[in-house]
Structure 1
């Protein structure tokens, strides 16, 4: 197993690790957009509140 891992290129290793992360971030953004669409039906103030919270959430999770 270690020999097979050593023979993989660095790019292949990076892609193997980064693709699940990118997919997770994509689904998170999709969730945020759907959430915003539902909240937009309530009021503009609700959209502002969700936008502010989402921005703070992204900053804290970096």
Structure 2
């Protein structure tokens, strides 16, 4: 049986993790922008590149 540390290194796990992170960014960015945070501040809080935040902001 695979243990958790081995599963975390699989491609499927990594892709699912990244997809989940992107969904959170798309959901949270508009809320943080409404509260007056800048794109740079949001990127720092979420620990993602500012371009990812910019794209999420355009989707709203």
Question: What TM-score results when the alignment is normalised by the length of structure 2?
Answer: 0.49
More helix by share: 1
What is the TM-score when the length of structure 1 is the normalising length?
0.48
Q: Which of 1 and 2 has greater Rg?
A: 1
